[in-house]
Amino acid sequence: MLSVKHSLNCFVSKCGARCLSQGKNLSIVQDVNVREIPLVNEPMLSYKKDSKERNDLIEALKTKSAECQDIPIVIGDEEIRTDRIKYQVMPHNHSKKIVKFYHASPDLIKKAIETSVKSQRVWDSVPLDKRIDIWMKAAELMSSKYRQELNSATILGQSKTVIQAEIDSAAELVDFFRINAYFLRESLKYRPISTNESINTLRHRGHDGFIAAISPFNFTAIGGNLAYTPALMGNSVLWKPSDTAILSSWTIFKICREAGVPAGVVNFIPADGPDFGDTITQSRHLSGINFTGSPGTFNRLWSQVGANIQAYNNYPKLSGECGGKNYHFIHPSAEPEHAALSTIRSAFEYSGQKCSACSRMYVPDSLWPKIRERLVSVAEELKLGPTDDFSVFTSAVIDAAAFKRITSYIDYAKSSPNTQVIAGGTYDDSTGYFVRPTIIVTTDPMDKLMWEEIFGPVLTVFVYQDCDLDATMQLVEKSTPYALTGAIFAQDLQWAAKALEHFKYSAGNFYVNDKSTGAVVGQQPFGGHRKSGTNDKAGGPIYLHRWSSPQAIKETFVPLSNYKYEYMH
């Protein structure tokens, strides 16, 4: 078997040499000629009855659900299986195993680091235009040949409904690959100021060492972005996918290898969280951590990096998105129907397991009767069930730990004198981890239900007196350490303009008369600050450059003939 370095060197040689750019003076810096890339989002399919995409998806679901796929650890071009055997099950039918996979030991993680470090500089020498071509090919494979394989893996493995999977593992994933390639192309247009005496250029490099990508279960697309955007910029990556999203993550990994990403550039490393975190942060080659998950885990990683800072070759880049306690603030001028239905979608799509899901709602007393009636009636209509049933609105939560955590908040609400459950409140884990969409009213705006991230289908409402509007606005930012997404609903544009300024630091993504979920790559770059993360704005051009280590180059063509400056004469 050829070594990863040999394979990468062969890959580089096949790319061919590029010509030197020509100008008044000959520059040694190579020009990058990249074809135009349209800035458009991937269209979403409808999956209407008897449509081709629906029939294709049904067939893919049948195939995927009939097997338990064996998925290895991959380091370089070596597939590895250990005695640390794990299984991924369907959350809506937890007796059904769909993946057998393996956790890497600390020694294997160290081996992956060695492979990754050896691969990085060879991969970084691959011309940017060739890398962009690979990413565009991967996007094309994802949008066509493998679209329903990606969707079926997400539907069965992460219990997403058809439309939620299409939004995520088709459209958003493709957007990350295509639009990040577009952002990279656009960044190449920048030219530093040159003079008659010198030419100045700037080139992108990867980070010397390796990047650790740690991805969550709730968005297939996030996994692809966390692992492959750093790779696009010339980095090598250790990708630790979530244990509850192995199947969809593996599908992305296979597609990218087929598209031309060489072995060793992204290494597929399922592992126990502490084993992975402890091992990567102890390596002097760590150059960055690209993370989405809980604040507790990110805090631990950050602390470990701080404790080991003297040992690293570089200062590691830390990029994290850590969830939120997202709000809908309803003004007395709001349209009640729109506010209620927007909140239903934001709070309960994918069972509230979105970082941006609405978890707290502030409603004026004057609108509460209409909004309450609509919230309750629609919540009781929502159909809960297995995701291969195309008529369901949402399905199970991800696993037993999530079920236990979410239901503990519901039990608390049932026993607290400050709260009342007005919809839902029931749950059952006998077949799948099912929690009914639940709406709670609290009389205490500082209750833990308004403070803590629940990450499940639980919405808490605080009803305020219209005359207390300004005081209630003050509560939004004080009531939680998070600042990810927020939304206001109002027809009074004068107040909306005031609220836009008032809530400036309450959210990284802010919505006016729209729900707090649904950020689209290239349209609403996503991320929050405070305990919601480092706000690097995935889906925008800023995010891409977090993973570049640029080099400025000055070429001088006028020989120096005297060491003295003019003032010295």
* Residues annotated as part of the active site: 321, 355
Q: Where are the alpha helices (DSSP H) in 191-219?
A: none
Asked if 233 and 213 count as a contact pair (C-beta separation under 8 A), the reply is no
Q: How many CB atoms lie within 10 A of CB 137?
A: 17
Residue 195 CA to residue 207 CA, distance in Å, equals: 30
CA 254, 259, 264, 265: dihedral to nearest 10 degrees?
-110
Buried b (16+ CB within 10 A) or exposed e, 28-50: eeeebebeebeeeebeebebeee
Q: How far is Cα 178 from Cα 558, in angstroms, rounded to an integer?
A: 42
Contact 280, 238 (CB under 8 A): yes
Q: Say how far residue 94 (Cα) sits from the centre of its chain.
A: 25
Q: How far apart (Å, rounded) are the C-alpha atoms in residues 311 and 330?
A: 51
Token pair for residue 102? Answer: 């393996």
Cα 135 to Cα 259: distance, rounded to the nearest angstrom: 7
Task: Please answer whether residues 328 and 346 qualify as being in contact, where contact means their C-beta atoms are separated by less than 8 angstroms.
Answer: yes
Residue given tokens 């794990």 in the structure block: 86
Quote the tokens at residue 186: 């656009």
Count other Cβ atoms within 10 Å, centred on residue 23.
9
Query: Quick one: how far is CA 275 from the chain centroid?
Result: 22
Nearest to 272 by CA among 78, 84, 69, 72: 84
Kindly tell me the burial class for residue 333, based on how many C-beta atoms sit within 10 Å of its own C-beta (0-12, 13-18, 19 or more).
Answer: middle
d(Cα 174, Cα 369) in Å, to the nearest integer? 43
Query: Do 488 and 512 meet the contact criterion of CB atoms below 8 Å apart?
Result: yes
Tokens 């100008």 sit at which residue? Answer: 23
Which residue, chain included where needed, has tokens 């040999």? 6
3-state SS of 25-46 is CCCCCECCCCCCCCCCCCCCCC
The distance in angstroms from the start CA to the end CA of the chain is 68
- β-strand 286-292 against 210-214: which pairing, if any? parallel
Dmax (CA) for the chain in angstroms is 91
Cα(233)–Cα(123) distance, integer angstroms: 10
The owner of tokens 């990567």 is 280
Residue 142: its H or E element: helix 128-143
Rounded to whole angstroms, the Cα distance separating 213 from 67 reads 28
